[in-house]
Amino acid sequence: MVDWLAGKRVRGTSSERTSLGTTTLGGTGVGGWVELGRTTLGSAGDLITITSLAEKRYYMILGDFKPIGGIARPYVRVGNGSIDSGSNYARRGSLDGGADGQDVSKPELRWENGIRNPYFQVGYAVNKSSNEKLFLEHGVGQNTAGATNTPYRGEHTGKWANTSNVFDQYQRVNTFAGSWDTGSEVVVLGWDPADTHTNNFWEELASVDLSGGAADEISSGTITAKKYLWVQCYTESSGTQRQFMRFNNDTGTNYARRWSENGGTDGTSTSQTAANIMGLNDSGTGTFSNTFIINNSSNEKLIISHGVSGTTAGAANAPQRTETVNKWANTSNQITEIDIINPESGDFGTKSFLKVWGAD
């Protein structure tokens, strides 16, 4: 069931999606990501610790950090039974697309150099007792408020050199002068191939496609406001296309971004009329993007995206990759509509789709 709007847009409603029984990630809700632990600070502090984590093969970690009183650093420690602060960590990472830095034999994984403004992080970990524990993290920082200031981005990998135990505790520790303010939060999710639970963390909010006809825009329609949003979009076009993302029909110059294409030097743009998720694809092949958003009403909305475009067809031609962070400089409202817009000459084709999941 779809509703066609002006400008060749297609829209679905939450009630229609609920009636189809697709309200959780995975359709009927069997398996999927489950919340294992969460700590939300009730007062400012330097530690955010989650204990008694159930053993899972894979973990997804969401971090919502609000520095106060100066610079704070969202470092990571883990442990089994207690937090390990020995020199058992090593990491490699990059800030704003710069040259990699590394730390070895440290008492924590040193994500980021230090932040003064709201910061959103999405990370992953693999947790097998007989192997070193591997971590992957992507982050976006607000930087100075306002769409005239670009966000910054971080990408980091790390390991905990323990080959005897799984970790069942996870901690974010600040070792600098500032602190984490009230409301700062870490959520740890787990997934295992044997899982059969029905209490999935991610709830499906929108599932829309263009099977009814090509269009310049795919709209989620009105979605339930959630703190964390996960967006996946595939678009194809017979001509040129980009994937721009717009929230709540805001066409003002309230967006700013930082990006890298194919590992190149970061580019930046400010005071834009939409978030630019994926760069130009003029080959007529498909483009796929994966996006996470922190959606606090009183903070600028911070957005992390990764994407791939097919470019010229065939294995003799490498695809294009894009790593992007954006922010929407709205500090009054949560996102309740997501539109994917193509500002180029081509239309999104009939195989294009948009899916949105959310959680509080």
pLDDT in tens, 216-241: 899 999 999 999 999 999 998 877 88
* pTM score over 0.85: yes
Determine what percent of the chain is predicted with pLDDT higher than 90.
70
Six token digits for residue 350: 């009939």
Between 140 and 8, name the one with better pLDDT: 140
Please check the confidence at residue 353 and state whether its pLDDT lies above 70.
yes
Give the position of tokens 């973990």: 59
Beta strand 228-235 with 287-294 is antiparallel
Q: Is the pLDDT of residue 27 over 90?
A: no
C-beta of residue 151 within 8 angstroms of C-beta of residue 326: yes
Give the per-residue pLDDT at 309.
Answer: 83
Q: Are strands 47-50 and 203-209 parallel, antiparallel or unpaired?
A: unpaired
Q: Residue 231 belongs to what H/E stretch? A: strand 228-235
CATH number of 34-191: 2.60.120
Q: Mean pLDDT throughout 339-360? A: 91
Q: Is residue 9 predicted with pLDDT exceeding 80? A: no
- Identify the architecture of domain 3-30+203-359 in CATH: Sandwich (2.60)
Sequence-separated (6 or more) residues with CB below 8 Å from residue 254: 147, 271, 273, 328, 329, 330
pLDDT in tens, 260-295: 998 899 999 999 999 998 876 666 678 899 999 999
Q: Mean of the per-residue pLDDT values for the chain?
A: 88
d(CA 188, CA 329): 27
pLDDT at position 93: 94
pLDDT of residue 70: 86
**In this predicted model, which residue has the larger pLDDT, 161 or 9?**
161
Model pLDDT, residue 317 = 84
From 71-75, 141-145, 227-231, 287-291, the region with the lowest mean pLDDT: 71-75
Checking if the pLDDT of 4 tops 60, the result is no
**235/341 Cα distance (integer angstroms):** 10
DSSP secondary structure of 238-255: SS-EEEEEEETT--SS-E
Is residue 67 pLDDT above 90, yes or no? yes
CA 65 remoteness from chain centre = 14
The residues, any chain, with a CB within 8 Å of residue 141's CB and separated by 6 or more, are 112, 115, 117, 118, 119, 151, 152, 153, 154, 302
Q: Where are the domains of the chain?
A: 3-30+203-359, 34-191
Residue located via tokens 């984590």: 53
Closest CA to 289 of 274, 302, 304: 304
pLDDT higher than 60, residue 11: no
CB neighbour class for 81 (10 Å; exposed up to 12, middle 13-18, buried from 19): exposed
Report the alpha-carbon distance of residue 328 to residue 253 in Å, rounded.
9
147-168 residue pLDDT tens: 999 999 999 999 999 999 999 9
Quick check: 261 and 276 in contact, CB under 8 A?
no
Greatest mean pLDDT among 15-24, 49-58, 277-286 lies in 49-58
- Asked whether residue 40 carries a pLDDT value surpassing 80, the answer given is yes
At 289-348, the pLDDT tens digits run 999 999 999 999 999 999 998 877 788 888 888 999 999 999 999 999 999 998 887 788
Q: What pLDDT sits at residue 1?
A: 35
Lowest pLDDT segment from 32-36, 88-92, 112-116, 290-294: 112-116
Residues 178-200: what's their mean pLDDT?
Answer: 91
Instruction: Please give the residue that has the higher pLDDT: either 337 or 12.
Output: 337
Mean pLDDT of 162-186: 94
Q: Do domains 3-30+203-359 and 34-191 have the same CATH topology?
A: yes
Question: What pLDDT score was predicted for residue 72?
Answer: 87
